[in-house]
Structure 1
Amino acid sequence: MSWALVLHVLIVTGFSLRILLREYLSPPARLAWFIVLIAVPYVGAVGYFLFGEADLGRKARQASAEIHESLRQRAEFVFRETAPIRSMIDALWLPAFSYAASINGFPPTQGNRATLLPDGEATCESMVADIDEATDHVHVLNYIWLEDRTGTAIAEALIRATQRGVVCRAIADGLGSRALIGSALWRRMQEAGVRLAVALPLNRPLRTILTSRIDVRNHRKITVIDGRVTYCGSRNVADPEFRPKAKFAPWVDIMVRFEGPVVAQNQLLFASDWRRATGEVLGPFQPLHGPDRPGFAAQVFGDGPTERHGATSQFFATAIACAHQKLTLSTPYFVPDTTVLDALISAGHRGVSVTLIFPKMNDSSFVAAASRSYYRRLLEAGCIIYEFTGGLLHAKTLTIDDGLCLIGSSNLDLRSFALNYENNILVQDQELTCNIARRQAEYMTQSDTVLLSDVLAWPFYKRIWHNVVATAGPIL
């Protein structure tokens, strides 16, 4: 037996055993990795080594476990006076709120208010105005922060706030914001006294490759001002023109400005990321407005590779199961696991009007192909599919029966489900839900309707390509 054959057997056997030992790897993901290892063993082995496991290492797991437990304890302390969940949540939505509460330990809070911002320019203006009015602290966390008009405006607002004595903290992801972190604007913030941190830095790429995946990212978008205002949605600190991928512009996002007790939950989520990045413990953070204030019920939930496995996809499946009449969802990246896909198909079969809005032109051709592999099953179940033509639809929205809505950073893909740190706010409120539904309707007017006859008419090579990419979806 030649050494080459021995090496081949050792590589395939060793990585196959490693795949079989992973308890939380889904059967489709195992099968996908086995196919890759058999088809291209050396490339597959390198690919699995680099991207096969979302493990940040033993020390990171221990630190994250401590942070997670601390987050739960602090949530219990801060929200110990919160009314029982059944007294504030409609029975129809109780399963969704109960499941969301199990993720971080954040209960639903009453007395919240919100404003749906009209566009990117208005969002930037509103954020800058709130930062300019800050008197105590400003906390900003974003996956992508560019040195463009929006990025510069937010940075300069933080500098102004710091100069008048406000404590400003900002976290930028090491990959998504890598250009900013090495820029003159970042240095200006640092020199002005803005306290800066990098989430999952890339300053030691070899160590990152050896101990984790380089594409495990902090995808959250959190802004908190004085503990009284928070912003949540899909927009990064970047212009809609989004210079790194300008050919897909404009990037169409959605943002909501919240006030009320839910702000403290976003504050705690930011504090957990600040501690993960710097080791510093922030707080305590108390809600500025009690449950007696007029407003709706809302709660934050955040997920990530160090949290409970499958939490986000299980939440979406639970929320989808709550729909009785209609459900509308928009996402730029639709590569669901079987839990979410089956929930959508089931909703369609039981008579719910399920509407899905995706971008027609995606910045990832692989994601676009994988998404379209699911179209036939969804359309046959009665779902309605639109493909947005007015740019890259980046808004992540979910509205159910004019009473329940979700806004945040999570996409309907395996990256958001297993690799990224994400943040979302679940809301029970007719007014906000209807406002977001109207925004979704605007997306539909700028979209092409995808019919089952269209999908059946696709040439065979296109269907094969879609299914080939979808087969590799669990490992993308």
Structure 2
Amino acid sequence: MLIQGLAAAHALVVVVFSTRVLLRDDLSSAARLAWFLVMLFAPYVGAGLYLLFGEISIGRTVHQRHDEIFAKLHLVASNSLGSCDQNLDGNVETEYQTAFRAASVDGFGTTLGNTAELLPDATTARSRLIEDIDSATESVQCLYYIWLADNTGKSVAEALTRAARRGVTVHAMADGLGSRKFVRTKYWREMRDAGVKLSVALPIKWVVDTILFSRLDLRNHRKITVIDSHITWCGSQNCADPEFLVKAKYAPWVDIMLRLQGPVVAQNQLLFISDWLLNSGEAAPEFHDNQATALKGGFPAQVFADGPTDRRGTTPQLFATLLALARKEVVITTPYFVPNSTVLDAICAAAIRSIDVTMIFPKHNDSWIVAAASHGYYRQLLEHGVNLFEYREGLLHSKTFTIDRKLSLIGSTNLDLRSFDLNYESDILLRDDEMTQLIYARQEEYIAQSDPVTLDDVNAWTYQRRIWNNVVATVGPIL
């Protein structure tokens, strides 16, 4: 009887959760198959994992609030949202216009007259950021996925506190998981006491309340800072030191940051406002359309923002578009590479048509499971002619994408399924020879500090390692 009962329970769990998987129209075939395998061989563990991490939707209520927020933003910010069709013609070459159209999410279009400065390193970037905060006279808005109580985290918090005390309107937001310890520190309390308006993005309790309809690990992975509506920062650096003490053995974290001015600043500010309204019940920062004016000699740029409340597949579709537009060369850096078939096929297709495709990953990844999944794709990439490098001087956390040394995408998005489906991400797409060349030069610096990976290297892996990599890659769609 006991055996029969266990068998019946096993069958019930498999049938119930398999039916749930089959009813979902948003799942890829690979993800659906991966869930079937997990349910079949470990039904009770699989059922628990599915309840916690199976659903990508963040809940109907949040989707409705997101749509309502952007509908209101469109009413007050029509100029700042930009115009793809009007601004592209005559300002962006025809072959690259498709990229900007593919990057248009939530109404963000192309802006003109932007300038940018590429910072030489993380320490300099954070020092300049604090200078900007200390120079602010009207407003500061910032959002970080990870905010640590280290030198950088404390310095930024103290700068925001000083700004609030001298009468600047300051809004600060941190992710509920990535910054869970920092929001309980004295620095968070000191900011609140000084008048900084604070909010926690995707607090754990909020997600738990929707556990039947949402994943626990949906996160706000964005890094946004806006100063006086005239300056914005974009890149991969969290509010943390390069030494990244919570994972010090992989340090230094190697990031890239841009300091931008021009109309694209307003788009980043609107993105922050949307996150603030979505996560807090408090009034949003004031927004004045057209405050960030076009600069003479500036370039076209556009915010690309994606998340679980946006159209599914937006990020993979943009990456595939960028790869299809390349005529000579593509260079990509990402710390986490767990692609879906859309992105993987686009990378291989670009290499097959004689595009010089180079990808740079960290040699030692802070996520062992992502490292194994990434390695599972190495043979396919190499056999199609992709150049692979592994950065050995720390954890390469920089997320960069350059096409033909003319077009760049830089921001928070990784080439993995978390960034594609689960995280709120923010990037900036720009068309400028000079700035793209500078980013490309930084990519060349990464290559100089990397080891090439060849087919001979992959062939030398043991059978056990190859099997493990492929097993992890197989369940990659549900990681």
Q: TM-score range by the shorter chain?
A: over 0.9
| Match in the other structure for 1:288 | 291
Cα 1:28–1:81 shift into 2, 3 Å: closer
Match of 1:299, SS? strand
Q: 1:182-223: per-residue Cα shift (whole Å, max 9, x none)? A: 111111111111000000112467425444222100000000
Q: Match for residue 464 of structure 1? A: 467
User: 5 Å matches for 1:83-98?
Assistant: 83-98=86-101
The CA distance in 2 between the partners of 1:386 and 1:174, in whole Å, is 34
CA contact (8 A) 1:202 1:208 kept: no
Cα deviation for residue 322 of structure 1 reads 0.8
Partners of 2:406 and 2:348 lie apart in 1 by 21
Match of 1:233 among 225, 232, 235: 235
Do structure 1's residue 317 and structure 2's residue 320 form an aligned pair?
yes
1:65-115 Cα distance to aligned partner (Å, 9 max, x none): 2224334454535346884322221112111111112x2211111110000
CA distance in 2, matches of 1:204, 1:319: 36
* Residue of 418, 422, 428 corresponding to 1:415: 418
Counterpart selection for 1:401 from 399, 404, 417: 404
User: 1:189 aligned to 2:188?
Assistant: no
- CA shift, 1:6, in A, is 2.9
The residue type paired with residue 193 of structure 1 is G
Q: Answer whether contact 1:75 1:265 (CA < 8 A) is retained.
A: no
Structure 2 SS opposite 1:104: coil
In structure 2, what residue type is equivalent to 1:349?
A: I
Q: Go from structure 1 to structure 2 and tell me whether the alpha carbon gap of 1:130 and 1:233 turns closer, same or farther (over 3 Å shift).
A: same
Q: Does 1:246 align with 2:218?
A: no
Secondary structure at 1:141 match in 2: strand
From 168, 171, 180, give the equivalent of 1:169: 171
Q: Is residue 104–residue 301 contact of structure 1 (8 Å, CA) maintained in 2? A: no
Counterpart mapping for 1:324-403 below 5 A: 324-403=327-406
Q: Say yes or no: does 1:133 pair with 2:135.
A: yes
1:48 aligns with 2:50: yes
| Fraction of identical pairs, as percent | 53
Distance in 2, Cα, partners of 1:268 & 1:363: 33
In structure 1, the partner of 2:117 is 115
The amino acid that maps onto 1:33 is: W
1:144 aligned partner: 146
Q: Is residue 473 from structure 1 mapped to residue 473 from structure 2 by the alignment?
A: no
Tell me the distance in 2 between the aligned counterparts of 1:74 and 1:349: 46
Asked whether the equivalents of residues 141 and 223 of structure 1 are also in contact (C-alpha less than 8 Å), the reply is: yes
Aligned residue number for residue 221 of structure 1: 223
Superposed CA deviations along residues 312-368 of structure 1, whole A, max 9, x for unmatched, are: 111010011111100000000000100001001000000100000000000011111
Residue 291 of structure 1, CA deviation = 3.9
Report SS of the residue matched to 2:94: coil
Q: Structure 1 residues 418-427 or 49-58, which shifts more?
A: 49-58
CA contact (8 A) 1:227 1:287 kept: no
Letter in 2 for 1:275: L
Helix, strand or coil at the partner of 2:464: helix
CA contact (8 A) 2:140 2:171 kept: yes
Retained in 2: the 8 A contact 1:375–1:455? Answer: yes
Local SS of the residue matching 2:435: helix
Q: CA deviation at 1:175?
A: 0.2
**CA drift at 1:301:** 1.2
> How far is 1:63 from its partner?
1.3
Aligned equivalents of 2:463 and 2:69: distance in 1?
A: 50
Alignment of 1:1-12 (within 5 A): 2-12=4-14
In the superposition, relative to structure 1, how do residues 171 and 289 fare at CA in structure 2: closer, same or farther (>3 Å)? Answer: closer
- CA distance change for structure 1 residues 100 and 72 in 2, over 3 Å: closer, same or farther? farther
Q: Which moved more, 1:3-12 or 1:88-97?
A: 3-12
- What is aligned with 1:256? 258
What SS does structure 2 have at the residue aligned with 1:50? helix
Matched-pair contact (CA < 8 Å) for 2:80–2:263 = no
Which structure 2 segments of 5+ residues have no match?
none
**C-alpha distance in 1 between matches for 2:393 and 2:440:** 18
On the 8 A contact 2:400/2:408 being kept in 1, the answer is: yes
Aligned residue in 1 for 2:454 = 451
**1:34 alignment partner in structure 2:** 36
> Hey, what does 1:160 align to over in structure 2?
162
Q: Distance in 2 between matches of 1:78 and 1:59?
A: 27
- DSSP 3-state at the match of 1:92: helix
Q: 1:135·1:226 contact (CA, 8 Å) conserved in 2?
A: yes
TM-score by length of 1: 0.97
* Cα deviation 1:275-315 (Å, max 9, x = unaligned): 01113344433233444632111000100011000101110
TM-score w.r.t. structure 2 length? 0.96
Q: Are the structure 2 counterparts of residues 71 and 345 from structure 1 closer, same or farther at C-alpha, using a change threshold of 3 Å? A: farther
C-alpha displacement of 1:461: 1.1
- Which residue in 2 is equivalent to 1:19? 21
**Given that residues 14 and 43 in structure 2 are in contact (C-alpha distance below 8 angstroms), is that contact kept between their aligned partners in structure 1?**
yes
Give 2:289's aligned amino acid: Q
- The one-letter amino acid paired with 1:115 is E
CA offsets, 1:378-423, max 9 Å, x none? 1111110000000000000011111000110000000000000000
The RMSD of aligned alpha carbons is: 1.5
Q: Aligned partners of 2:103 and 2:474: how far apart in 1?
A: 30
Cα gap change, 1:429 to 1:206, in 2 (>3 Å): closer
Q: What is the identity, as a one-letter code, of the residue corresponding to 2:275?
A: D
**Residues of 1 paired with 2:92 and 2:421: CA distance?**
28
Q: Which range is displaced more, 80-89 or 194-203?
A: 80-89
- SS class of match (2:90): helix
CA–CA separation in structure 2 for the residues paired with 1:78 and 1:415: 29
State the AA in 2 paired with 1:105. G
Q: Distance in 1 between matches of 2:269 and 2:111?
A: 14
- Offset from partner CA, 1:154-207 (integer Å, 9 cap, x none): 111111111110000000000000010111111111111100000011246742
2:100, 2:374 → 1: CA distance? 28
Alpha-carbon distance between aligned partners in 1 of 2:427 and 2:82, rounded to the nearest angstrom: 22
CA distance in 2, matches of 1:285, 1:224: 13
